[in-house]
């Protein structure tokens, strides 16, 4: 943990000093960094206090660098330190999330941040989730990054962690990693080799290779006691001497060991004393030390169980609170979603109604304009003729009657409004439907038939006889087309949906209903020229 605190602290100091005056930071962080080399215990105590009381500095750093492109490396370091803070505060899931953010944010050539984030992820995989395989993968990736960076210090740290994890799975791999770490330490920083030798000594001891274990442990004992702060190597040296039946040496080493600093060290001290007593056949002393060993073991297990239970209860309470908040949030989100969907469909409905209303107004104005033009043409034609035929007068009378009826409906029901309340929109739709539902009177159709038959040489009698499959509605459309009624008016009279339908039915009437491969105008022209052969069905 010493290295992780060190790096995390250095990262934060680099962050807060490199933000260009974006915000102020806690000066205690710089003080802790200055203590790290000379007084690491004091530095760790200070950083424990800082992270436990507030992590506002790193939150400000994260918010700042998230908003500024081009600060990728600093944002990566901010994620790493945030993960370290969350880990120290007892939130491994959040820590893992921030470390993975750092891993994803780092540039491909940012070997240091990539390597360090993978080390932190690997430790969480191993310690919190018991996923040694995933941890080994991340550590090997970190090792490659530090090789590319040529960072011997962190390469040694990574190899040491790999040796510790693989010891339970592959002893040969573990020995290789520890040996490589020792080799690098000898050339980079000799004092680091003794910690790794101590770990390798423990590995040999677990494999009953007491001679190799003893040689490494005594090398540490003779040359590296000041550099290796671990109490374990004294235990390895004592036990290996006992197993090699060198009890005087074992007792000498035990006499040189410092007082145990915690319960775990005390447990090993009692274990070593018990093994020496057993080898000397001092069974009473062996029983006493074994009793102390068991009592202390029970005490440690009990304390750990209480801590685990307390932590579990706390985690359960937090989880319950989170679940309640999530349920409430989910319920609120559901209500909001339903309301949003309802509002969305209401807006769409209003939009469609208003669009329909506007189209209706536009349509009515178009119909009215066409009617006015048609009436003007009829009146002008009548005024410019010295004598008008009786048939044309009959047709004009019928059309005038129809046009006036439509115009009255448009004027009464189709008035445009600038501000349209919803009730007016619905009422306008009723008005539109009423206008579209035109039913010309029987007298109109009689007058129109009489006029068309008279003008076109009994053409209606001819098509009814020649094409008996034509319906009454087909005959009415034929009359309207012959009388040159505007398409908008034909649409109203025939109940079509739009003006384009008039053109479609005009083509369909001649080509499909009558089975002729000519246009409507060509049919009229051919009939008036007595070319009846064209119409044989």
The whole-angstrom separation of Cα 227 and Cα 156 is 15
Helices (H), 27-110: 27-35, 40-53, 56-67, 72-88, 92-105
- What is the pLDDT confidence band of residue 119, given thresholds at 50, 70 and 90? very high
**In a domain? residue 472:** yes
SS3 210: helix
Question: What is the DSSP-derived secondary structure letter of residue 18?
Answer: S
The whole-angstrom separation of Cα 214 and Cα 233 is 9
**In a domain? residue 258:** no
Question: Could you read off the pLDDT of 17-44 as tens digits, one per residue?
Answer: 444 444 444 454 445 444 444 444 454 4
**This prediction's pTM:** 0.49
The whole-angstrom separation of Cα 313 and Cα 306 is 10
Distances (CA, A) of 272 to 242, 261, 296: 9, 16, 14
Give the pLDDT confidence score for residue 178 in this predicted structure. Answer: 87
**In a domain? residue 507:** yes
**pLDDT tops 80 at residue 211:** yes
The whole-angstrom separation of Cα 364 and Cα 523 is 33
At which residue do the structure tokens 């953010």 appear?
101
Distances (CA, A) of 472 to 158, 449, 482, 495: 95, 12, 15, 14
**pLDDT tops 80 at residue 184:** yes
- Please count the residues of the chain: 537
Picking from 216, 280, 9, 4, the residue whose alpha carbon sits closest to that of residue 124 is 4
The whole-angstrom separation of Cα 37 and Cα 127 is 27
- What is the pLDDT confidence band of residue 370, given thresholds at 50, 70 and 90? low
Does residue 48 contact residue 5 with C-beta atoms inside 8 Å?
Answer: no
At which residue do the structure tokens 């409507």 appear?
520
Question: Could you read off the pLDDT of 247-274 as tens digits, one per residue?
Answer: 888 888 888 888 777 777 788 888 888 8
**In a domain? residue 479:** yes
Does residue 467 contact residue 514 with C-beta atoms inside 8 Å?
Answer: yes
Total domains in the fold of the chain: 1
**pLDDT tops 60 at residue 289:** yes
**In a domain? residue 208:** no
Picking from 170, 169, 196, the residue whose alpha carbon sits closest to that of residue 182 is 196
Give the pLDDT confidence score for residue 291 in this predicted structure. Answer: 83
The whole-angstrom separation of Cα 198 and Cα 218 is 9
**What are the DSSP calls for 296-315, one per residue?**
HHHHHHHHHHHHHHHHHHHH
**In a domain? residue 470:** yes
Which residue segment(s) compose the domain that 463 sits in? 439-537
Does residue 511 contact residue 517 with C-beta atoms inside 8 Å?
Answer: yes
Question: What is the DSSP-derived secondary structure letter of residue 259?
Answer: P
At which residue do the structure tokens 């035990």 appear?
254
**pLDDT tops 80 at residue 179:** yes
Question: Could you read off the pLDDT of 503-528 as tens digits, one per residue?
Answer: 888 888 888 888 888 888 888 888 88
SS3 242: helix
């Amino acid at each position: 943990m010493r290295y992780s605190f060190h790096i995390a602290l250095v990262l934060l100091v680099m962050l807060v000093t490199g933000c260009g005056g974006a915000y102020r930071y806690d000066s205690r962080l710089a003080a802790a960094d200055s203590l790290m080399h000379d007084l690491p215990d004091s530095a760790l105590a200070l950083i424990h206090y800082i992270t436990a009381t507030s992590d506002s500095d790193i939150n400000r750093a994260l918010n700042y660098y998230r908003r500024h492109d081009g600060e990728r490396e600093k944002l990566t370091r901010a994620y790493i330190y945030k993960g370290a803070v969350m880990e120290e505060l007892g939130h491994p899931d959040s820590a893992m999330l921030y470390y993975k953010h750092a891993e994803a944010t780092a540039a491909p050539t940012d070997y240091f941040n990539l390597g360090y984030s993978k080390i932190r992820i690997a430790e969480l995989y191993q310690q919190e989730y018991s996923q040694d395989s995933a941890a080994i993968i991340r550590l090997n990736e970190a090792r490659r990054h530090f090789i590319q960076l040529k960072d011997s210090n962190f390469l040694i740290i990574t190899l040491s962690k790999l040796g510790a994890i693989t010891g339970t799975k592959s002893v040969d791999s573990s020995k290789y990693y520890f040996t490589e770490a020792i080799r690098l330490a000898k050339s980079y920083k000799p004092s680091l080799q003794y910690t790794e030798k101590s770990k390798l000594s423990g590995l040999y001891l677990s494999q009953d290779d007491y001679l190799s274990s003893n040689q490494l442990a005594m090398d540490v004992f003779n040359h590296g006691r000041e550099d290796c702060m671990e109490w374990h190597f004294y235990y390895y040296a004592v036990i290996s001497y006992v197993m090699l039946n060198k009890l005087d040496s074992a007792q000498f080493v035990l006499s040189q060991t410092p007082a145990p600093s915690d319960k775990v060290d005390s447990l090993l001290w009692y274990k070593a004393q018990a093994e020496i007593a057993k080898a000397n056949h001092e069974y009473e002393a062996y029983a006493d030390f074994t009793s102390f060993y068991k009592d202390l073991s029970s005490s440690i297990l009990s304390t750990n169980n209480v801590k685990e239970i307390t932590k579990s209860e706390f985690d359960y309470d937090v989880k319950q609170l989170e679940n309640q908040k999530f349920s409430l949030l989910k319920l609120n989100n559901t209500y909001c979603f339903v309301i949003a969907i309802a509002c969305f469909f209401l807006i769409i409905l209003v939009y469609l109604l208003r669009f329909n209303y506007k189209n209706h107004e536009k349509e009515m104005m178009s119909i009215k304009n066409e009617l006015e033009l048609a009436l003007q043409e009829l009146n002008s034609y009548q005024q410019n003729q010295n004598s008008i035929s009786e048939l044309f007068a009959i047709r004009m009378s019928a059309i005038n009657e129809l046009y006036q009826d439509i115009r009255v409906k448009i004027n009464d029901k189709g008035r445009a409004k600038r501000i349209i309340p919803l009730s007016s929109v619905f009422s306008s739709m009723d008005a539109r439907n009423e206008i579209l539902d035109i039913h010309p009177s029987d007298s109109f159709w009689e007058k129109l038939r009489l006029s068309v038959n008279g003008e076109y040489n009994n053409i209606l009698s001819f098509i009814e006889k020649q094409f008996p499959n034509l319906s009454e509605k087909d005959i009415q459309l034929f009359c309207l087309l012959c009388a040159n009624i505007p398409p908008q008016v034909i649409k109203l009279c025939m109940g079509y949906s739009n003006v384009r339908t008039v053109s479609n039915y005009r083509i369909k009437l001649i080509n499909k209903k009558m089975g002729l491969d000519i246009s409507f105008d060509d049919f009229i022209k051919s009939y008036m020229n007595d070319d009846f052969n064209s119409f044989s069905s």
